Amino acid sequence: MISKLLKLIFRNFPVLKGKLWKFWYTYLGSKVITPELKFMNYGYFSDDFKPQLSQKDEKERFPIHLYHYLCSKSSIKNLRILEVGSGRGGGADYITRIFFPKEYHALDISTTAIQLCKSFYKKDNLRFHVGSADELPFDNQLFDVVINVESSHCYPNFNKFLLEVKRVLKPEGQLLITDFRSNSEFSDFDKLINENFEIIAYEDITDNILLALDKMSEKRKKQIKYFLPKFLFNISSSFAGIKGSELYESFVKRELVYHMYVLKSV
């Protein structure tokens, strides 16, 4: 019943969808305050991709893979980077340690998530900002690369986000973006992308996401039980893509697919 209502809202009321996601991630940031939970993405697994990780990073191997795989498709070193939808900051922390950007600005709409990030991560080249994807609080042509990991499905207006990214990117700057949609939503997505960017690389990574979800489901189930009230278990399990949940099954049936793009501003 709840999931049917949410689907209806997500499809037909984009502004309400944006408000609901903002509420959810602000709630999560106030409820789960441990630095142990660093990522909120579905992860990535492939037999051919196994970066060496420190003992600390090993605990979050699969969500880290998604960031590492995406960022290894471009060049980050000594550049000025913006991440939109940085969540609990695990990706920002990892990428600054491993890919050595000159500056990394991480932005999220959730004030509570950004508060946590500011207290967890203190580095000279890493800054956290509260802000919205469709109104980026930055000057024109400031960044070399914009990173966006599993966040754009929450935005009320994806086109506005793309135009904002184009505005803050330097000429020929890159947008590295990965997220899920239904196939029909992706045809609109591709149309908007083609109007503003050149596609440098594209991949369907749905199978890699499912493999990672298989590996992460037990741990995430325990975290949901530990941190969140019982009545939120089913809906949180679906949002978290737990094996067997409605969302997981949508990936299996390919009603939802997960794509990755490297785009150049034109």
117/238 Cα distance (integer angstroms): 25
Site for ligand SAM in 91-150 (CB under 6 A): 91, 108-110, 113, 132-133, 149-150
CB-closest chain residue to ligand SAM: 87
State the minimum distance, in angstroms, from the CB of residue 124 to ligand SAM: 22
Q: Which of 17, 32, 39, 105 binds ligand SAM (CB under 6 A)?
A: 39
Closer to ligand SAM by CB, 133 or 205: give it. 133
State the minimum distance, in angstroms, from the CB of residue 256 to ligand SAM: 14
The runs of H, that is alpha helices, within the chain are 2-12, 14-31, 55-58, 61-71, 90-99, 111-120, 158-168, 183-196, 206-227, 233-239, 246-252
Residue 21 interacting with ligand SAM (CB under 6 A):
yes
State the minimum distance, in angstroms, from the CB of residue 243 to ligand SAM: 18
Q: Give the count of residues interacting with ligand SAM (CB under 6 A).
A: 24
State the minimum distance, in angstroms, from the CB of residue 162 to ligand SAM: 13
Q: Which two tokens stand for residue 107?
A: 């932005």
Provide the β-strand partners of residue 262: 176, 201
State the minimum distance, in angstroms, from the CB of residue 18 to ligand SAM: 6
Q: Which of 154, 162, 210, 256 binds ligand SAM (CB under 6 A)?
A: 154
Q: Describe the crossing of helices 14-31 and 111-120 by its angle, rounded to 10 degrees.
A: 40
- If one counts every other C-beta atom within 10 angstroms of the C-beta of residue 164, the result is 20
173/50 Cα distance (integer angstroms): 28
